[in-house]
Amino acid sequence: MSEFTFHDTASAPEGSKGILQKAEGKYGFVPNILRGLADAPAALEGYATLSGIYDKASLSPVERQVVLLATSFENGCSYCMAAHSGAAKMAQMDDAVLKALRTGTELPDAKLQALRAFTQAVVEKRGYADESDLKAFFDAGYSKQNVLEVVLGITLKTLSNYSNHMMEPKLDEQFKPLEWTAPKSEAAQ
């Protein structure tokens, strides 16, 4: 894989410095995903902007993390699975729900499972969710607004998942306790 540059606030292009400084102030460190995206200020700004917009969604903080983790699981992004496992804990996600999201097993909460299943369907079908996918989602108590918020969350995570696949950032020490490896698919066995 090509070597990408992982900038700090001193080495980053001018258009990225402010975003990295803001992240450092918020988290106490600059996550490697942001350090890598800093090489393309527009990509970093896009990620930061989408994150801020997604935080305004009507989905609860736990539901938003379900979407981000389900997308990262489907895309096999080890970095995002670790980072968002931490964010899910901060959002006070139930440990059993988080474990199920990380292992690809049924969630113990029916409504959250419907959210995860819908997210997976949208990712797998590249946005072509069918009537049965939508019906199950609506039957679980979600709305048309939530459909579009799921698409927003998938968009956010696709940007970081795909970037991570190419940049291959080292997992930050802060996320090491939540390290995750994609399960081997049956086809690969």
CATH code for the domain defined by 7-56: 1.20.5
Find out whether 137 and 57 touch, Cβ atoms under 8 Å.
Answer: no
Closest among 38, 93, 73, 34 to 182, alpha carbons compared:
73
| Per CATH, domain 59-178 is 1.20.1290.10 | yes
> 45 Cβ partners below 8 Å, 6+ apart?
15, 16, 19
Find out whether 30 and 19 touch, Cβ atoms under 8 Å.
Answer: no
DSSP 169-188: PPPPGGGGGG---PPPPTTT
Per-residue confidence (pLDDT) for residue 19, from 0 to 100 = 98
Per-residue confidence (pLDDT) for residue 23, from 0 to 100 = 96
Q: What is the mean pLDDT of each run of 10 residues along the chain (189 residues)?
A: 88 97 95 97 98 98 98 97 97 98 97 98 97 98 98 98 97 96 62
Per-residue confidence (pLDDT) for residue 182, from 0 to 100 = 87
Whether the model pTM is above 0.85: yes
Domain ranges within the chain, ordered by starting residue: 7-56, 59-178
Cα–Cα distance, 3 to 52 (Å, whole number)? 29
Per-residue confidence (pLDDT) for residue 1, from 0 to 100 = 53
